[in-house]
């Protein structure tokens, strides 16, 4: 991604992001957000959507209240939100892949379902939904084949261990919530997992033996305790 330079709107007398580059950021944001919403809507998977990368700057430019130094800082903040959204997209694709694999095990289908979903046009059932910010697909955006095929060939759509992922912090659930993310599933997708293990988790494991296998080995506990 190219970082937009600071331009100046002489008519409104405010600094603005370089229009040509900024428009590519806005388009990429629209495609990523739409793809995430589309996949999660179809799969029904639980997820927390992060802030829209370009929203803060667009809002300030629209209001006409922004300074050059502030804009420069906000541009780099916006840039930092894109990797988080790519992580959300990878999660949404992984959920869809898991559903496809389950179907394959039942000999139902063998086509990557997430690619099929993203290439479907005119999903009125999705377009009518709201995400708390506004209509999910206000412009009637469709995802072109190039964008979708690039995802399939990128680190976003690969879970074979060839990609070094940042990882995830997980809380051992006190009950069997359906929306809890499976640690085994994350590990199968080659995502490093961290979770706390203390009195709370030991109590959970005593009540539910399933969680006992996640307890750290005794030597690991000793090493951690000795380093405090």
Residue 222 predicted with pLDDT over 50:
yes
- Do 145 and 176 reside in the same domain of the chain? no
- Do 118 and 13 reside in the same domain of the chain? yes
Of 136, 158, 180, the residue at which a domain comes to its end is 158
- What is the band of 6 on the pLDDT scale with cuts at 50, 70, 90? very high
Comparing CA positions, the residue from 35, 152, 138, 137 lying closest to residue 85 is: 35
- Do 59 and 114 reside in the same domain of the chain? yes
**pLDDT reported for residue 185:** 85
Q: What digits encode the pLDDT tens for the residues 181-214?
A: 788 888 888 889 988 888 999 999 998 888 988 8
- Do 75 and 118 reside in the same domain of the chain? yes
Q: What digits encode the pLDDT tens for the residues 47-62?
A: 778 889 999 999 999 9
Residue 156 predicted with pLDDT over 80:
yes
Residue 145 predicted with pLDDT over 90:
no
Mean residue pLDDT across the chain: 80
Mean pLDDT of 111-123: 68
Domain count, the chain: 2
Of 158, 174, 193, the residue at which a domain comes to its end is 158
- Do 29 and 132 reside in the same domain of the chain? yes
How far apart are the C-alpha atoms of 15 and 76, rounded to whole Å? Answer: 15
**pLDDT reported for residue 139:** 55
- Do 146 and 164 reside in the same domain of the chain? no
- Do 138 and 217 reside in the same domain of the chain? no
Percent of the chain at pLDDT exceeding 70 = 81
In angstroms, the Cα distances linking 205 to 173, 217, 221 are 10, 14, 16
- Do 110 and 165 reside in the same domain of the chain? no
* Domain range for 141: 1-158
- Listed in sequence order, the residues at least 6 apart from 17 whose beta carbon sits closer than 8 Å to its beta carbon are 4, 5, 6, 7, 25, 57, 61, 71, 75
């Amino acid at each position: 991604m190219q970082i937009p330079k600071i331009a100046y709107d002489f008519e409104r007398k405010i600094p603005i992001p370089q229009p040509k580059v900024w428009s590519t950021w806005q388009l990429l944001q629209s495609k990523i957000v739409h793809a995430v919403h589309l996949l999660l809507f179809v799969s029904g998977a639980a997820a927390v959507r992060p802030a829209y990368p370009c929203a803060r700057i667009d809002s300030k430019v629209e209001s006409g209240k922004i300074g050059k130094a502030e804009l420069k800082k906000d541009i780099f903040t916006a840039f930092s939100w894109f990797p988080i959204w790519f992580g959300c997209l990878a999660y949404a694709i992984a959920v869809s892949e898991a559903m496809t694999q389950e179907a394959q095990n039942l000999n139902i289908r063998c086509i990557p379902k997430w690619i099929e979903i993203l290439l479907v046009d005119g999903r009125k059932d999705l377009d009518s939904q709201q995400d708390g910010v506004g209509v999910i697909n206000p412009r009637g955006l469709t995802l072109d084949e190039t964008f979708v095929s690039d995802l399939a060939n990128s680190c976003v759509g690969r879970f074979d261990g060839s990609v070094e992922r940042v990882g995830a912090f997980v809380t051992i659930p006190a009950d069997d919530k359906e929306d809890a993310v499976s640690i085994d599933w994350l590990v199968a997708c080659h995502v490093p997992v961290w979770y706390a293990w203390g009195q709370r988790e030991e109590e959970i494991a005593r009540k539910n033996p399933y969680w006992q296998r996640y307890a750290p080995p005794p030597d690991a506990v000793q090493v951690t305790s000795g380093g405090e």
